[in-house]
A and B are shown apart, each in its own frame.
Chain A
Amino acid sequence: MKSKVKWGIRLAALLVVVTVVLTACGGAATTAAPAATQAPAATEAPKEMTKIKLQLQWVVQSQFAGYFAAVDQGFYKDEGLDVTILQGAVDIVPQQVLASGQADFALSWVPKALVSREQGAKIVDIAQVFQRSGTLEVSWKDSNIGKPEDWKGKKVGTWGFGNEFELTAAMVKAGLDPQKDVTIVQQPFDMSLLLNREIDAAEAMTYNEYAQVLEQKNPKTGELYKPEDLTVINFNDVGTAMLQDAVWAREDWLSDAKNQDIAKRFLRASYRGWIYCRDQFDGCVNVVLKNGPTLGKGHMTWQLNEINKLIWPSPAGIGVMDKKLWDQTVQVATSQKVITTAPDAGAYRTDLAEAAVKDLEGQGADVKGAGYTPKQVQITAGGE
Chain B
Amino acid sequence: MVETPTLPIHEVASEIPPAPRGTPAWLRQIIAFAIIAVALVAFWEGYKALGAATGGMIPLTAARLPVRPDDKSMPHVFDILAALFKPVQRGSENTLLSFLLRSALFTWREALVGFAIGSLVGFALGVVFVHSGLLERGLMPFVVASQTVPLLAVAPMVVIWGSRLQWPAWLAVTIISAYLTFFPVTINTLRGLRSPDPTALELMRSYAASDWQVLWKLRVPAALPYIFTALKISATASVIGAIIGELPSGIADGLGRSLLTFSYYYVSGPEKLYAAIFGAALLGIVFVVIIAQVERMVVPAGRRIE
Contacts and interface: CB of A to CB of B under 8 A. Distances in A.
Interface of A: 3-4, 7, 10-11, 14, 18, 21-22, 25-26, 28-30, 32-37, 59-60, 86-92, 100, 102, 189-192, 195, 212, 215-216, 289, 291-299, 380, 382-384
Contacts of B113: 22, 25-26, 29
11 contacts: A7-B221, A29-B113, A32-B106, A33-B251, A33-B253, A37-B169, A59-B252, A190-B264, A192-B266, A292-B252, A293-B88
Nearest to A24: B109
Contacts of B251: 33, 36
Contacts of A26: 109, 113
Interface of B: 72, 88-92, 94, 99, 106, 109-110, 112-113, 116, 156, 160, 163-164, 168-170, 174, 217, 221, 224, 247-253, 257-258, 260-262, 264-269, 272, 294, 297-300
A195 to B, nearest CB: 7
Contact of B265 (A7, A33, A86, A296): A296
B252 A35 contact: yes
A294 B258 CA distance: 7
B250 A192 contact: no
Contact of B250 (A14, A88, A292, A383): A88
B104 to A, nearest CB: 13
B265 A299 contact: yes
Contact of B257 (A11, A59, A192): A59
Contact of B300 (A7, A34, A190, A289): A7
Contacts of A87: 250, 252
Given A14-B298, A90-B247, A297-B91, A36 B266 contact: no
A102 B169 CA distance: 13
A294 B89 contact: yes
A33 B112 contact: no
Contacts of B156: 90-92
B171 to A, nearest CB: 8
A296 B90 contact: yes
A6 to B, nearest CB: 8
Contacts of A215: 268
Is chain B's interface secondary structure helix, strand, loop, or mixed overall? helix
Contacts of B262: 294
Contacts of B299: 7
A297 B169 contact: no
Contacts of B267: 190-192, 195, 212, 216
Given A26-B113, A190-B266, A293 B94 contact: yes
A342 B95 CA distance: 52
Contacts of A88: 250
Contacts of A32: 106, 109, 253
Contacts of A10: 297-298
A25 B261 contact: no
Contact of A382 (B217, B264, B269, B300): B269
Contacts of A380: 90
Given A35-B252, A36-B250, A89-B248, A102 B109 contact: no
B298 A7 contact: yes
A14 B221 CA distance: 15
A26 B221 CA distance: 29
Given A22-B116, A29-B110, A30-B168, A59 B261 contact: yes
Contact of A14 (B112, B249, B294): B294
Contacts of B249: 89
Nearest to A298: B90
Given A4-B221, A26-B113, 12 more contacts: A3-B300, A7-B224, A25-B112, A25-B113, A30-B168, A34-B168, A37-B169, A59-B252, A294-B89, A294-B257, A295-B265, A383-B268
A89 B89 contact: no
A92 B217 CA distance: 50
A189 B252 contact: no
Kindly list the 5 A-B residue pairs having the minimum CB-CB distance in the complex, ordered from nearest.
Answer: A33-B170, A297-B90, A89-B250, A91-B156, A90-B247
A384 B90 contact: yes
A89 B253 contact: no
B196 to A, nearest CB: 13
B48 to A, nearest CB: 15
B158 to A, nearest CB: 12
Contacts of B252: 35-36, 59-60, 87, 291-292
